[in-house]
Amino acid sequence: MKKKLSQILSLIVCLLMVAAVSLRRDGKLLGHDFRAKQKAETSVKNDTLRIESDGTMVINTTNLGKDISGYGGAVPLEIYIDKKGVISQVKALPNGESPEFFGRASTLFNKWKGKSLKEAETTQVDAVSGATYSSKAIIANMQRGLQYADKASAKAQTSIPFDFSAKNIAGLIVALMAAIVPLFVKNRRYRMVQQVLNIVVLGFWCGTMVSYSAIIGYMSNGMNVVSLLLPCVLLVIAFIYPMFGKKNYYCNHVCPYGSLQELMGKTVHYKVKISGKTIRRLDTFRKVLWGALMICLWTGLWFDWVNYEPFSAFMVESASWLVIAIALVFALLSAIVMRPYCRFVCPMGSLFKMVG
């Protein structure tokens, strides 16, 4: 009973820690904006927001990004978001950029096209070589426009229905398999099949996993359980299962990156021998690193570190080259060192350990 109470208190502490980061970074908590400094944004003056006849929401960044400048001046955009919350297209409005350079930079529009509003907000996009100023202006305008769209659609999100797409259904089935089957089946072959499914379906296909970026976003904007059922299942596995004796269950049975590391470890028989003393030092390093990164979030010194967790490398088209490089390094290292990122680095795993 005493241990259970301690776990409940630890879970509450975890929630409060994430809530503090959400308020510090976004000024929002569960969809409620506490900054209240952009009241004028709810109006449609200057066509900042308009709704077309088919329900498409169009965000014009002329006013939102008037302080953002490319090489030749402002680079306003129109962002089209359909009724399902997916970006259908991005258009450039008249600007003073050189047509040649802006033409190169405008290829970035495809980085956001086809993504949901949530996915687009967390997509890391690098500037196009040879058109840096135009690229940075486009990226900054997109960020402003997406933030505006997120606020404008906050109320509507409560009525978003369940997504019956093949991708979402497959992801939910794989997540439930990982949540239930290993509780009753202890079989190496099945475990390998499950790990492959975690990587292919949850990782590469759905791009859905528990990360700091995700949980801070959920804490800031709130979650519609129906439309975000798959992430909800993963969160339950990650934070609730440990309270029933299933410590590190998400890390060991669900996480796509953890699964990838374990499978990589089976490719090479040789393993680097690490002494107990070194393991203890590496574990201490993980704890110190986690503490330092949390301080960066609470103080606002470095919010962006959450964008460099290797989990987003599964979304190859939108992941930055640095994230992909980090993911590859630890994946290759896991061939000779058992799950190195999970054991000695992962900040998300450190948060899970508080509950377990």
Taking Cα atoms as reference points, which of 307, 178, 153 lies closest to residue 230? 178
User: Mind listing the pLDDT tens digit for each residue in 24-76?
Assistant: 888 888 877 776 544 444 444 457 888 887 888 999 999 898 888 887 788 99
DSSP H helices in 246-320: 249-253, 256-265, 276-299
Is 205 or 222 the better-scoring residue by pLDDT? 205
- Cα three-residue angle 253-169-121, rounded to 5 degrees: 85
Q: Which residue segments constitute the domains of the chain, with CATH numbers given? A: 39-153 (3.90.1010.10), 166-355 (no CATH)
- Alpha-carbon distance 333 to 289, whole Å? 20
Taking Cα atoms as reference points, which of 55, 278, 301, 12 lies closest to residue 159? 55
- The residue written with tokens 């908590």 in the block is 29
| Three-class DSSP category at 153 | coil
pLDDT at 228 over 50: yes
238 phi and psi, to 5 degrees? Answer: -70, -40
User: Mind listing the pLDDT tens digit for each residue in 94-128?
Assistant: 988 878 778 888 899 999 999 998 888 888 888 88
**Residue 57 is which amino acid?**
M
Cβ 106 vs Cβ 92: under 8 Å: yes
User: Mind listing the pLDDT tens digit for each residue in 270-296?
Assistant: 999 999 999 999 999 999 999 999 999
- Cα three-residue angle 205-210-216, rounded to 5 degrees: 120
Predicted TM-score (pTM) of this structure: 0.68
Cβ 48 vs Cβ 41: under 8 Å: yes
pLDDT at 133 over 50: yes
Sheet of strand 49-51: strand arrangement: 49-51, 57-60, 77-81, 87-92
Q: What integer pLDDT is reported at residue 104 of this predicted model?
A: 84
Q: How many residues belong to the chain?
A: 356
Please report, rounded to a whole number, the percentage of residues in the chain having pLDDT higher than 90: 57
Q: What integer pLDDT is reported at residue 44 of this predicted model?
A: 40
Is 150 or 101 the better-scoring residue by pLDDT? 150
Q: What integer pLDDT is reported at residue 132 of this predicted model?
A: 81
| Three-class DSSP category at 75 | coil
